[in-house]
Structure 1
Amino acid sequence: MEYQHGGDIYTNSVNLDYSANINPYGLPKRVGEAICHAVEDSSRYPDSQSSALRKKLSGFHGVSEEAIVCGNGAADLIFQVVSAVRPEEALLITPSFLEYEQALHTVSCNITYYELKKETGFLLNVQELISWMEESRIQFGMIFLCNPNNPTGFAVLKEDMEVLLDYCKSKQIFCVMDECFNEFLDEPQRYSVLESMNQREFHSVFLLKAFTKIYAMAGIRLGYGICYDRNLLDRIHSLRQPWSVSSLAQAAGEAALSETEYVKNTRKLISSEREFLKSQLSSLGFYVYNSMANYIFFQDTREEAIGEDKLLYHQMLSNKVLIRSCGNYRGLDGTYYRICVKQRKENEEFLSILKTILEKGE
């Protein structure tokens, strides 16, 4: 089976992994210590309700503990919410995260795709989307919204998202709002709908968050959802595995929420290095899109790249550098790529290898 995501360092010989969008500072020290301490209690079952973690998340976000559900990473919760809602018709905006489609297929849902256009930079225009939904006359039961979007990295302001959520509320469309990369934005509060969910009574919204990216906990597997639909949460709890969140993950999550300075420093680093990488890639002749997250979306416009599928991917891999080909995203092909943002030393090494490849035409 072909690996569908970034981070495939297990079947490839890699020195630099630029395919997975993880915090370049790595796992915070105190989080690692919390995990090691939790190992001592590994002979006991973890709390199936993640009570202590949910209590800390409640204080962190200013929401009720009852509105929070934890899972084995965000992907786990995507499948759970789809199983709980079981929509007959769903709308996916493409290109976007692959798991949405996979989860919907498990409940035999009919999927309609709204394709973002290259001509407009793959940007989502909310008013145009609403007009299209009206004209389609399809009774959608669910829509997935990724903000900032993966792989394009562009984020929609919360005021625009509120317009879309208002429309969905009026049409009884359940919204899954994926904000797993929100914390990497320069001003995350300008794009999150967390406060809006309560103030505007968006109860048919499931807000998806994760520790995976911002705290570099991909191997720990910890995500959570926030939702004010009590009946839906009850259905999710009745469907989910009781011990899907390990005691190690719960301890890591509790410790991570105290790492406020770590997150501030991360945001500052990402903002600077993202612009550095975008500028360098543009100067090398690639078409670079205006990513706002901790990853960069670009197209290889070389003539030879058009005729050979995933050319740059294979060229970089032969130099032990792994990048994310976006050829398996709906609406994209093998000339599109996504790379993460790392620290300056690694970014310079990455660029040096890339420049050598371009100069040699390998």
Structure 2
Amino acid sequence: MTAEVGVGVAGWGAAGRLMAAALGRSDRFRLAGIADRDPASRDAARRDAEVPAYQRVEDLVAAPGVDVLYVATPTAHHAEAIVAAAAAGVDVVCEKPAARTVAEAMFAVQTAADAGVQLLVGASHSYDAPVRALREVVECGRLGALTSVESSCHTDWHRRPRTSADLDATMGNGLVLRQGAHQFDVLRLVCGGAARSVSGLTFGGAGGAERGFAAHLRFADGIVASAYYHGGGGFDSRLTTWGVGELGTVELEPAPPLADFFALPGSAAAPPVTPTFGRTTATFDSGGAVVTATGLLVFDERGVDVVDVTDRPSGWDAVLVELADVLDGAAPVHDGAWAVATLEVCIAIHRSAATGAPVELRHQIALSHE
């Protein structure tokens, strides 16, 4: 059966190849071509994916069979790619963050809307099945009202190869914008979307060079949320999730002395798992819940329920599920307005860290834009 929707990928880096892999698993979408400014990347795509490769995004979106553009270019080029796709009448999925600034993102979103094309932003970890299951616990009311959510993550982000642009917030980069976008998307989804204000601190640098950050968000109905991220290496959050990382694979093998203190089954013995991005814990009037490598643990007065969601899509596969639903007429969750709201939170962290004062948020939306 021939897939009916062709997807062009702009940027043949890690995210672009992960989307290509998800397209290969889909019965609705297919990889139709790629665009990349680097000749070696274009050659690799032609060789490995056996699809046409172009230097310019404008040529990709004009190519026959390209119905959707997935934007995985550097952040500084996200908005221009969205505008190019809109001009060609091509729907868009754009990596987070949507742009370098709120104004730039709002222009791109409005351009897409004026052209009548769909715009989703992802993949962020709010697409992951355990996070969506946690939101379902909130909505069903089994534990009463949600009171707080905490997200923390320890990685070696700064120990990986980085360019100067990767550490420049004015280019849409740095830890807050690149990794915080995941955490704030998760917190916004679980808490209902519309944050009221945020207070934040960065440490070990600033302006994109920060090695970590901490933030507190205030939502409606008295819900509070906190985010902590350290990207300088050392302690690793995967030690608390069976060694499972954000791609949904076992990345840490058991070895002393860590295996004496943490449950690390190893890749050969681990059950099916989902992507994990640090730890996310929620408290309710009548219980609590924590995200695990297979789904959720839900705590109530009767004890603990294990919720397994390993059969549900996460990551780029979940993006394609939402895209299919939207193309079939469903209301989106991760649309352009949602992306602007998450970007606003990220930029507000930098502003709050610089001024020492909380920042009131002006571009927030609730889930389903209610």
State TM-score, norm by structure 1.
0.32
Question: Greater relative contact order: 1 or 2 (C-alpha under 8 angstroms, separation 6 or more)?
Answer: 1
Task: Report which of the two has the higher share of helix.
Answer: 1
Task: Report which of the two has the higher share of strand.
Answer: 2
State TM-score, norm by structure 2.
0.31
